[in-house]
């Protein structure tokens, strides 16, 4: 956002786009057989809202958007010199393939944090909503942390396939490394997605980045709840899983 992208007018405290949540955090809809065409039409609706706000056509298509009408305003059209529009929302990765297919010039920044920190997160919403998409039964694991880690592993395997299918359009961002050195990693990301940004602007953009207290929480936990092959996958993909290992910084 600080580099010039319009993120929408309806954001929560974490800057998640609540309009995307309204339209797409619908596991029952997806599980019930949402077709690629139906998903694409909903993405088209989302684009109209992001570009022009919530008008009569958008309300006809989705009456629930009425509550966003004032905050969304005129969308990107009213933002003057904005580079373009962007969206940050935890469920975006579920729809990464249709997103990249609908918008051929779109770039997708895929943020990943340490898998064991993720496994020990109290937020299990993703696991509950989308585990079925990855042929995963959370109840089949001895501990919820192991189910969380398995969800990460399966989403990572899907990401590896998507990186091959959409070369140059998906950009993994290591959250731990970013939080440790935000300016360097933001500069690298800007170059990868083709944004020209001066050093002063970049400095202002990252000046409020903090290392969350939850980083490294896995080091204080019992790793015996995980299967050996799960920990091996973490190691093989470059993430430390031994308490005396240095943090990954690539």
pLDDT for res 102: 98
Does the structure show a pLDDT above 50 at 176? yes
Residue with tokens 């297919």: 101
80-110 pLDDT, tens per residue? 889 999 999 999 999 999 999 999 999 999 9
Residues sharing a CB contact under 8 Å with residue 158, sequence separation 6 or more, in sequence order: 134
Write out the E strands in 69-219: 84-85, 108-112, 170-174
117-127 pLDDT, tens per residue? 999 999 999 99
Instruction: Give the mean pLDDT of the chain.
Output: 94
The structure's pTM equals: 0.92
**Tell me, what DSSP letter sits at residue 6?**
E
pLDDT for res 246: 45
Query: Quick count: other Cβ atoms within 10 Å of Cβ 228?
Result: 7
**Tell me, what DSSP letter sits at residue 180?**
H
Domain ranges of the chain: 1-88, 113-161+174-250
């Amino acid at each position: 956002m600080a580099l010039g992208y319009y993120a929408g007018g309806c954001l929560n405290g974490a800057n998640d786009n609540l309009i995307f949540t309204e339209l797409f955090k619908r596991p029952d809809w997806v599980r019930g057989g949402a077709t690629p065409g139906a998903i694409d039409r909903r993405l088209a609706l989302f684009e109209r809202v992001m570009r022009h706000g919530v008008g009569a056509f958008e309300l006809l298509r989705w009456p629930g958007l009425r509550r966003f009408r004032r905050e969304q305003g005129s969308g990107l059209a009213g933002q003057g010199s904005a580079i373009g529009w962007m969206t940050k929302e935890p469920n975006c990765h579920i729809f990464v393939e249709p997103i990249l297919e609908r918008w051929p010039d779109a770039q997708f920044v895929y943020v990943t944090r340490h898998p064991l920190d993720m496994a020990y997160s109290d937020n299990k919403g993703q696991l509950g909503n989308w585990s079925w998409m990855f042929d995963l039964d959370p109840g089949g694991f001895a501990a919820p942390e192991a189910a969380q880690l398995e969800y990460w592993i399966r989403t990572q395997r899907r990401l590896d396939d998507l990186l091959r299918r959409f070369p140059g359009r998906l950009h993994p961002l290591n959250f731990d490394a970013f939080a440790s050195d935000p300016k360097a990693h933001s500069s690298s990301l800007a170059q990868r997605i083709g944004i020209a940004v001066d050093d002063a602007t970049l400095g202002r953009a990252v000046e409020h980045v903090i290392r969350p207290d939850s980083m490294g929480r896995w080091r204080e936990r019992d790793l015996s709840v995980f299967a050996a092959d799960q920990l091996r996958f973490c190691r093989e993909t470059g993430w430390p899983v031994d308490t005396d290992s240095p943090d990954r910084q690539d």
